[in-house]
Homo-oligomer: A and B are copies of this chain.
Amino acid sequence: MKFTIRRKELLQSIQDVTSVISSKTVIPILSGLKIDVHANHIVLTGSNSDITIQRTIPNIVDEEEIITKMEKGSIVLPVPQFPEIISKLPEDIVDITVGENYKTVISSGTAVFTLYGQNSEEYPVIQHQQVEPHFSYHIKQLKSIIKQTVFAVSSMETRPVLTGINVIIKEKEITFTATDSHRLAMRTSRLEDSSIDEANIVIPGKSMQELQKVLDEKLETVQIAILNNQIVFFTDHLFFSSRLLSGNYPDTSRLIPNNSETKIQIYTRDFIQTIERAALLSNREQNNVIDLETKENNNIQISGKMQEVGEVTEQLPAISVEGNELKISFSSKYMLDSLKAMDHETVIINFTGAMRPFVIKTPDDESILQLILPVKTF
């Protein structure tokens, strides 16, 4: 195996596949990065058995030959050393040649590295050439959906299924839901031209975070295929597959209240800053719980208290306050996560009493919904 490549393009692709590679893998060879040299392109593979990422680099990009002197073959090289070496080489061009016993010589300028590679035949086979995509999706939209839901997945392994995002396809609609049982984030969108009508799967939150990092926003769409226990995402030069979580995801629809007793519309940025201030004096052991109280003239009051340290009270004008008077306590962390995920100038919050979950939406977009359970403090 042999090739000469522009360092910049190689480095970029290495970074995309390296993030999932871990030295703590049960399959030792997965601690390395696999390189395959084909006739007109090379393929880099990184995997942690849950997630596999492959990057293809074609030998010609924009009519420029970026890979030359190609001789077919494959090798597995040690991480983090191989990526570190490529990032620190002195010249713009790098030569990689595999010799006897998988010894791989990497040279650039007068720097000559020898890495003891491993036999790529021991690397698990990734079968994806045969996979037919079921539907395609806008990359920008998918990345925004991940951002708006993934923070709400559970970090506790006690209910493994809650560490994932539930994706339901039904009646030409796709719904993404994440909950840790204290809060919930949900986003729906239309799904046209899908070759599957129904699906109900759970994708690990960590996989979605990795996917968000490697999806290139300069591309328009990503192709998606849902297999038996796997989901696969493709673009021209990327292949990303993730194991699915098994187990039944709870039916969350009945959690979401339909009525509203108090409805507040407020400027998101001002609200975020006021909550951040109140959180400074709130009890950390209790997820930084703060209080919200409706006041006269469309004002709301936010307050916090930290034992033996102090307390804080701040009034801020809402755009509107409708319905019953309200006093409620909630985790400032959950509220801030939700408000920041909404990414909208104003938000509408619908409360149904101090002890019931409340719902955060934006004024003109029914596709996104955040729900938070209040905290009993009195």
The 4 closest A-B pairs by CB, nearest first: A115-B310, A111-B314, A113-B312, A84-B280
Closest to A84 in B: B280
A339 to chain B, nearest CB (A): 16
Query: Are A280 and B110 within 8 A (Cβ)?
Result: no
* Residue A287 at the chain B interface, CB threshold 8 Å: no
**Which residue of B114, B308, B313 is within 8 Å of A310 (Cβ)?**
B114
Closest to A88 in B: B277
* Residue A99 at the chain B interface, CB threshold 8 Å: no
* Residue A347 at the chain B interface, CB threshold 8 Å: no
A114 to chain B, nearest CB (A): 5
* Residue A286 at the chain B interface, CB threshold 8 Å: no
Query: Are A111 and B312 within 8 A (Cβ)?
Result: yes
Contacts of A281 in B (CB 8 A): 81, 85, 113
Given A110-B314, A110-B315, A309-B115, A273 and B81 contact (CB-CB distance below 8 Å):
no
* Residue A316 at the chain B interface, CB threshold 8 Å: yes
Q: State the number of copies, please.
A: 2
* Residue A78 at the chain B interface, CB threshold 8 Å: yes
* Residue A247 at the chain B interface, CB threshold 8 Å: no
Closest to A306 in B: B81
Query: Are B78 and A113 within 8 A (Cβ)?
Result: no
Q: Which of A219-250 touch B at CB < 8 Å?
A: none
Query: Are B310 and A81 within 8 A (Cβ)?
Result: yes
* Residue A89 at the chain B interface, CB threshold 8 Å: yes
A180 to chain B, nearest CB (A): 27
* Residue A112 at the chain B interface, CB threshold 8 Å: yes
